[in-house]
Structure 1
């Protein structure tokens, strides 16, 4: 059985580096992308067991990615949103329809990453 694969799409390279290091230390394949357009291409071209997505990416945001996935009827992905902003309930319901499993506020702790790993990468 192949190891689980995680994709992180976040413009903050410090965050993506720490999260990537964590998953790789846990023997989980992990790719970090710091650009929204590149992140969408990566989602199209590869299968991931978990996608960690920041909403506030300049130029092409996590919301843009989610809307594109919905247009293409690509749902039921394990998408967890990392965000520093408050998500309104109406937006949350829209995200859940697309396949978002939960929304987590930054900063993200190692304990939170561990719980995400347990939940989505069994």
Structure 2
């Protein structure tokens, strides 16, 4: 079975590295990018099965990235992972098509469960 591809968009290299290492132990091929500009390039040049997206990036608004991903590849589930979330941003993200929204720090078991559920529902 081919590895499922996950794009991790987060400006915290330590957090990204932990998530990528964790996902790579399972049936996932994970790649991380640290900025919005990298995210746009990567999302346009490769096909991903799932995106994990931080809302606060140094050069882009996560909501804008979410919108663009959902316009270009509406079937790809996007899970928001953010440290600074609130009810308003949750509602906006879900309204723009996010599969779900998790607050950092996130437990690995919860993240894995959410990733598996998003991929299952996307099929």
State the superposition RMSD in angstroms: 2.0
Distance 1:94 1:75 in 2: 16
CA contact (8 A) 1:55 1:61 kept: yes
Q: Does 1:46 align with 2:39?
A: no
The alignment's TM-score, normalised by the length of structure 1, stands at: 0.84
Which sections of structure 2, spanning at least 5 residues, go unmatched? none
Aligned to 1:16: 16
Q: Deviations over 1:8-28 (max 9, x none)?
A: 000000110000000111131
The alignment's TM-score, normalised by the length of structure 2, stands at: 0.83
Alignment CA distance shift 1:65-1:117 (3 Å): closer
Q: Does 1:59 align with 2:89?
A: no
The alpha-carbon deviation at position 4 of structure 1 amounts to: 0.6
Which sections of structure 1, spanning at least 5 residues, go unmatched? none
Distance 2:54 2:92 in 1: 16
Alignment CA distance shift 1:10-1:57 (3 Å): same
Q: Does 1:83 align with 2:82?
A: yes
Local SS of the residue matching 1:55: coil
CA contact (8 A) 2:20 2:30 kept: yes
Local SS of the residue matching 1:26: coil
Aligned equivalent of 1:100, options 98, 101, 104: 98
CA contact (8 A) 2:77 2:119 kept: no
Aligned length: 120
